[in-house]
Amino acid sequence: MPTIVIVAFDQVQLLDVTGPAEVFTTAAATTGGGAAYDVRIVSPDGADVRTSSGVRIGVDIGPDALPRRIHTVLVPGRSDWRAAVHDTELVAFTAQLARRARRVASVCAGAFLLAETGLLDGRRAATHWRLAADLAAAYPAVTVAHDPIYVRDGPVVTSAGVSAGIDLALALVEEDHGADTARDVARELVVFMARPGGQSQFSARLNPATGQHPAVRAAMDAAGADPRAASDLTVLAEVAGVSPRHLTRLFRADTGMTPGQYIESVRLEAARALLEGGGDPVEHIAQAAGFGSSESMRRAFQQTLGVAPTEYRARFRTTHCTNPTVTPA
């Protein structure tokens, strides 16, 4: 059986460990042992660990009892990634296991541990959307992908935050045993086989920080005040007191975006807020947010968030099931 080694350490996020472990063990159950994995949870000193939620995890064995060759090493994360990468024993342990593994994976902030070992140098990698900028700043040799749920670069697979470890583990099961087995596991666990859309749909607001140049700030303020009216570059340039061409140059230098891209991001944020907070028809929201039509808004949502506006509303407006089995009192 392929050996799956999941690294555990104090303050690790519980679901980073248990989510993938459940996927791998369910693969064996759904195939009658045909897709069996030998899942080992290990810690650097072989002792049990206390997770960030306070739940203790029993460690199977110490590092010396592992086989010489390991099929997959999976490295979870902790919310305080700086404490993790400053733990020299943990970093050395991770590096040692990675050298013995055919495949290495990380969940959430586990990418920081892999980066600290140098394993991500020159590779694309993913982490939790809130930590992506930190990963890029701390490890400039890593190309950080901000939106994907998981990223595969050669024998290294990195995933987004917490529950994305389940998506990652399903992808690894599919790689090892095919799509049918992974689909059976997903059905058994009642999760998506492939999660629709990327991390952007879960992330904080997309608007960039306020521009530094006065002309850029004036144009941003005008666009934010009324996304419907901010459709003409000439109008924004007049508000900013510069020519359209000069405003475009200033925008690119100050924000990395064109005025048009910024306007679309403002409209997208307005639409997200309206979808989350009310029940108006999508066509009305498209008009109110400045898109002009529901089709234009749908294209922007699909391109930026990977989901349609109606799907976005269904996921983020309420936690109530569409088909509840219990009638509310």
Backbone angles phi, psi at 41, to 5 degrees: -105, 120
- Dist. CA 99–CA 63, nearest whole Å: 13
- Dist. CA 20–CA 12, nearest whole Å: 14
Q: What is the CA radius of gyration of the chain?
A: 23
Angle between helical axes of 244-255 and 214-225 (0-180°, round to 10)? 100
- Dist. CA 62–CA 64, nearest whole Å: 6
The pLDDT assigned to 201 comes to 66
Task: Clarify whether 108 is annotated catalytic.
Answer: yes
Most distant CA atoms of the chain, gap in Å: 71
What confidence tens digit (pLDDT) does each residue in 5-17 have?
999 999 999 999 9
The pLDDT assigned to 203 comes to 64
Q: Other C-beta atoms within 10 Å of 251: how many?
A: 25
The pLDDT assigned to 209 comes to 55
- Dist. CA 30–CA 35, nearest whole Å: 8
Which residue in the list 57, 108, 135, 171 is annotated as catalytic? Answer: 108
**Per-residue CA distances from 11 to 78, 81, 223 (Å):** 6, 10, 44
Q: Other C-beta atoms within 10 Å of 135: how many?
A: 23
Bridge partner residues of 228 (DSSP): none
Q: Who contacts 154 (Cβ-Cβ below 8 Å, separation ≥6)?
A: 123
What confidence tens digit (pLDDT) does each residue in 256-290 have?
888 888 888 888 888 888 888 878 899 999 998 88
Token digits of residue 226: 């009324």
Helix-then-strand count for the chain, H and E: 14, 10
Contact 263, 237 (CB under 8 A): no
The pLDDT assigned to 204 comes to 53
- Dist. CA 262–CA 264, nearest whole Å: 5
Token digits of residue 275: 């979808």
- Dist. CA 241–CA 212, nearest whole Å: 15
Bridge partner residues of 72 (DSSP): 4, 103
Do the bridges between strand 150-153 and strand 143-144 make them parallel or antiparallel, or are there none, so unpaired?
A: unpaired
DSSP state of 61: B
Token digits of residue 158: 């990195």
Residues of the chain with pLDDT under 50: 321-329
Contact 9, 43 (CB under 8 A): yes
Given its phi and psi angles, is residue 109 left (phi above 0), alpha (psi -120 to 50 degrees) or beta?
alpha
The pLDDT assigned to 304 comes to 85
